[in-house]
Amino acid sequence: MKSKTTSNPSMGQIRTTAEAHEETAIPCAHVVHTHEDAPLTPESLPMPEVLTREPFGGKSPAQWAYERLVVYIQNFEQQLDSDQEVALGLTGGNAGVLRIEGLGYFAPDILTFYGRDESGARTQLIQHVSQLSVMLVALPKADEQEEPRRIGFRLVAGMETPKGA
């Protein structure tokens, strides 16, 4: 079967049908920082291999949002010192801060954040992907713990486990 080519006059490039299809399957990311020495962020790093195993066009909005959030959380945690843990600043209300203990999704469009609030009360936020707006916050680690809890690496390991296992 012969591949058709397309031409983009403004770019002066000729692309095959396969190349045009591939462009729709590869996510696009971009970032600009005010300081040249800013830490690397997920937009400027290669996609983790675990995220590229399944074409992103075949993922539900919830799965795709979940996977990218995992990458952001892991990257944020890599920049914390040993006295800090990641928490989620809840936006759009007076809900406060949630110390992240778990993150999940329910396809096609729901994300769930599990954790505890500032007083230690168990907290769960269920959010539609169209309303997703979170702020990662560095909080001092809980006093009773020797080591800060790092959820980012657990979330990545969870993506590597087959679904339903």
Q: What is the tens place of the pLDDT at every residue in 128-152?
A: 999 988 889 998 887 766 778 787 7
Q: Which of 36, 111, 128, 32 is nearest to 73 (CA)?
A: 111
* 10 lies in some domain: yes
Residue type, 72: Y
Token pair of 81 as six digits = 């010192």
Residue 110: inside a domain = yes
- Work out the pLDDT band at 1, boundaries 50, 70, 90: very low
Query: Global pTM?
Result: 0.72
Residue 40 domain-assigned (yes or no): yes
How many structural domains does the chain have? 1
Q: Give yes or no for residue 107 having a pLDDT over 90.
A: yes
- pLDDT bucket at 105, cuts 50 / 70 / 90: very high
- Position 112 scores a pLDDT of 92
φ/ψ bin of 90: left (φ > 0), alpha (ψ from -120 to 50), beta (otherwise)? beta
Question: Is residue 165 situated within a structural domain?
Answer: no
What's the Cα-to-Cα distance from 39 to each of 10, 32, 63, 78, rounded to whole Å? 35, 11, 26, 10
What is the reported pLDDT for 116? 87
Distance from C-alpha of 163 to C-alpha of 44, rounded to nearest angstrom:
28
Does 86 fall in a domain? yes
In this prediction, residue 80 has a pLDDT band, given cuts at 50, 70 and 90, of very high
85 within domain boundaries: yes
* pLDDT, position 3: 46
Residue 85 is part of which domain span? 5-160
37-59: pLDDT as tens digits: 888 888 888 888 888 888 878 89
- Decide if 105 is inside a domain: yes
- pLDDT at site 128: 93
Residue 118 domain-assigned? yes
- The pLDDT assigned to 109 comes to 93
